Amino acid sequence: MGSKSLAVGITFVLVGVIGIIVLCVVQYTYDAEIPNGYGLVWDAGSSGSRLYAYQWPVKKEHSTALVSQADTCRAEGGGLSSYLDNPPEAGKSLESCMNKTALMVVPEEDYADSPLTLGCTAGMRLAEKESKDQSDAVMEAVDQTLNSYPFNVLSVSILTGEEEGSFSWVTVNYLLGNYAKGPAPSGISSLMSSATTSTETVGALDMGGASLQISFIPEDLTVVPPENTVLLRMYGEDYVLYTHSYLCYGINEALRRYLATLVQIR
């Protein structure tokens, strides 16, 4: 994988790394009685939480659905880690988007069948290291809030760095239409022309607020540590991925370290 391929990945990861969670969910859901499926995903980042509503046709391509984003909503306030001193407010911060987006986008008759997932990234990974009791209280409040809604709550969790990195990689290559047997999503043909062919993949460099992830398919798997190896199956094909997360190398944490260095120099 060359540097040009990696650069393409850097650009597209900004569109929404959390899409992979829905891609994983819809691989295992099928009901011939309904034309469309719906899914709700909370991307709980270090600087804020965003709700993504997805829709996909029940008919699938090679056991994986073609997903499109139906709507998005940003929760008021900061990330969930900003509520460590007041955990109940963490759950309440999500209610506005649940009410005005989740309940509105998904048809009422599909509420119970629509999966809902929340994944926290590096902000809560850091919080968990600093105070597990406080982070657990935040996660419990969030779990209670989401389970008070009529959706199928699949998971409310703090993602590992490797999970976050692999999700970034899948989203980048999904948007570029790079899976060997997968159709390219509509409206991105012009973007694909500047990338690679449909049977190649690109690397993804995902810089968030508190961490940085790098993910790509290595040329030599024998030099990849097992803890950094992820096996993914997309559109009937297996992909062996290298992914590594660098905690505290996100934009906000890097700036904080830089400012601390200036203080020390003075």
* Active site positions, annotated: 164
- For residue 76, how far is the Cα from the chain centroid? 19
Residue in 158, 164, 87 with CA at minimum distance from that of residue 123 = 158
CA–CA dist 127, 43 (Å, integer) = 16
CA–CA dist 237, 243 (Å, integer) = 18
Q: Which two tokens stand for residue 188?
A: 């991105």
Q: Which two tokens stand for residue 226?
A: 């097992």
Which residues have a Cβ under 8 Å from the Cβ of 153 and sit 6 or more positions away? Answer: 115, 116, 117, 143, 146, 147
Which residues have a Cβ under 8 Å from the Cβ of 193 and sit 6 or more positions away? Answer: none
CA–CA dist 200, 208 (Å, integer) = 26
- To the nearest 10 degrees (0 to 180), the angle between helices 161-176 and 122-130 is 180
Q: Alpha helices of 1-48 — where are they, by DSSP H?
A: 3-12, 19-26
